[in-house]
Amino acid sequence: MTADVRKLAAIMFTDMVGYSFLAQSNESLSLELLEKHREILRPYFPKYSGTEVKTIGDAFMVEFKSALDAVHCGIAIQEGLQEYNQSCELNKNIQLRIGIHVGDVIVRDDDIYGDGVNISSRIEPLAEPGCICISEDVARQVQNKIENPLHKMGKHELKNIHLPMEVFQIKFDKPSSGNHNGEEQLENNKLAVLPFDNYSPEQETDYFSDGLTEELIMHLSRIKELKVVSRTTSMQYKNAKESLVDIGKKLNARYILEGSVRRQREDLRITAQLIDVETDSHLWAETYGGNMADVFDIQENVSKQIVQALRLQLTPEEQVALSKRATLNTEAFDLNLHGRGFLYRLTKSYLLASIDLFQQSISLDPRYAAAYAGLSEACGFLYQFFDKKPMWLDKAMEASLKAIMYDNNSSEAYSALGLVYFQKNMIQESLENIERAIELDEDNFFAYWIKGRSFHVIGRDKEAAQQYEKVLELNPDFHSVYGDLRMTYTALGEHDKASAIVQRSLDFYPSYLLRFPDDARAHIYYALNLQCVDRLEEAKNKMQRAMELSPHEAIVMYNAACFYSMIGDKETAIQSLQQAVENGYEDFGYIAQDYDFKNIREEEGFKKILAMGKENPTH
């Protein structure tokens, strides 16, 4: 045994994306690609003064004399693989993740140890397929010395590393498709969890089957080896008529989990089956019977059965995460799901109902972070749209801070806190919390929405539009953002894009209203967009339907007043505005400035309504 030698070195780890899946499903192809991958990579190492330390299955560990050499080598490898992938059949494509760190290492015999090795191996899985993750130390040494931009990924807690580390990513433009014969290869490590069908006698229990789907997605997303389709994308396939194979191809997912829920009071029956889209065959199916007290065990069993069926290798942390339970109280769990089911309907009555449900949940489990996060969002929305009493903002702040205290990895808690700071006009603090929310869950559409609104407030409308487009990409059903986009593009003077958004919304609302015919806000926004393209009679019908659905909702009547003012029906506009105030609309300052009321501003009825605010200045 030779004496240990300590030195500074740059360490690179590489890993083939999806290799474990491939090895289980097609052993001969996996071995062929493993050898091809080694054949492609090995010539690059000496070219950039790198020394191959060892291979670990489908991974390489390589030592370099400088961080710049290591990064140049990583870039050359990823660009070389892009060229290779363009020239071969899609099922023989090779994708890598690469991690690079520079630091102290210990050389012992023919191996290398130390933090420099540990950190590079820990940041490699953080890279997107075909990309490179580098530590902050590497980023400092290569910045302005490479052409590729560095994308900040925020701080990450790494196993056995005491302090969170700032991580950066180098991305590459994706080339056009190669020899694909019109077929796109399914991602071997991608899973879509479709909304579980609700076969319960009481259809209002849809919230439970939808919530159970989202909980499963959240659990499975903790497995780094598995790429899970986001919950907002999956929920778009609720009651879908397409075949599972067609859905899998649309989502580019090799595997689909589907199932059903039948709940009658406390009795529970859940079925689940895992489908291989490529072969259109069942990999596993199971039926679970019991009562509500068994729901957490069933969730955990489903997750573990999927892991076994796909032969995933879990880290000890992932094994713990799969067993982690946000609450042990099944009634608190049910109340939280019920509250979530009401939350984004965004009417006053639904928000008050969701607040009550979240509070009941918290009373049963005072440490339930998800219920606190939901309570914060509901109180924040109530303050923003319906009731400007400071108590709602105070409740939202308290609830979001408690959610973070009980679970500091809750993306929803940070986005809820971001909403509170946005409403307090503390934009920098809002953006900081929103960035943390997105770092924890890049599919958190609500966080992007608040980020867009924050950018709009500080005059960064171009960036605001980008965030709103991201919201639509993640959750097309969050239709409030169509209005945000139209106003933002109009403010930017990009009238063609504003018109295009109106057309997109007109394409969207008919199918949405078939699924959610009682969504009064959707009828309102549809009417406003129909009015933009002079389809006036249709617009009047939709607005009338909204008023019939929610005659006592202040925000519905307020929007009706805006609509009738814009089309020149002054009498109905003033009547609707009067009803909005009687139903609790209190923002008289906004009424006075709202451009939509330009046609009725000089009417006596309008002036009387404004005078009500002056008589009661607390409004």
Query: What is the four-CA torsion angle of 574, 578, 584, 588, rounded to 10 degrees?
Result: 60
Give the model confidence (pLDDT) of 420-468 as tens digits: 999 898 999 999 999 999 998 888 999 999 999 999 888 899 999 999 9
User: What mean pLDDT value characterizes the chain?
Assistant: 85
CA 396 – CA 398 distance, rounded (Å): 6
The answer to whether 186 and 194 are in contact (CB under 8 A) is: no
What superfamily in CATH does domain 5-170 come from?
A: Nucleotide cyclase, GGDEF domain (3.30.70.1230)
DSSP letter string over 202-219?
Answer: SGGGHHHHHHHHHHHHHH
Q: Do 187-323 and 330-478 come out as alike in CATH topology?
A: no
- Residue 51, phi-psi category: left (phi > 0), alpha (psi -120 to 50), beta (remainder): beta
Give the model confidence (pLDDT) of 498-542 as tens digits: 999 999 999 989 988 887 888 888 899 899 889 889 999 999 999
Alpha carbon distance, N-terminus to C-terminus of the chain? 81
Percent of the chain with pLDDT over 70: 92
**Residues forming a β-bridge with 99:** 13, 133
| pLDDT score for 78 | 92
CATH 3.90.1150.10 is right for the domain spanning 330-478: no
Pick 295 or 78 by higher pLDDT: 78
| pLDDT score for 109 | 74
Give the model confidence (pLDDT) of 24-74 as tens digits: 667 788 888 889 999 999 999 999 999 998 888 888 999 998 999 999 999
Within 10 Å of residue 504's Cβ, how many Cβ atoms?
16
Percent of the chain with pLDDT over 90: 33
Question: What type of residue sits at position 359?
Answer: Q
Give the model confidence (pLDDT) of 190-233 as tens digits: 888 888 888 777 766 678 888 888 888 887 877 777 888 887 78
| pLDDT score for 618 | 46
Pick 579 or 476 by higher pLDDT: 579
What superfamily in CATH does domain 187-323 come from?
A: TolB, N-terminal domain (3.40.50.10070)
Pick 3 or 238 by higher pLDDT: 238
| pLDDT score for 179 | 43
Highest mean pLDDT among 110-124, 170-184, 582-596: 110-124
Segments making up each domain of the chain, as ranges = 5-170, 187-323, 330-478, 551-619
The answer to whether 189 and 18 are in contact (CB under 8 A) is: yes
| pLDDT score for 176 | 46
Instruction: Grade residue 375 by pLDDT with cuts at 50, 70 and 90.
Output: very high
Sequence-distant (≥ 6) Cβ neighbours of residue 46 within 8 angstroms: none
The runs of H, that is alpha helices, within 238-368 are: 244-251, 295-309, 316-323, 330-343, 348-364
Give the model confidence (pLDDT) of 269-313 as tens digits: 888 888 888 777 777 778 887 777 777 787 777 877 777 777 666
Query: What is the four-CA torsion angle of 264, 377, 397, 619, rounded to 10 degrees?
Result: -120
| pLDDT score for 177 | 43
Pick 324 or 5 by higher pLDDT: 5
Three-state DSSP at 5 gives strand
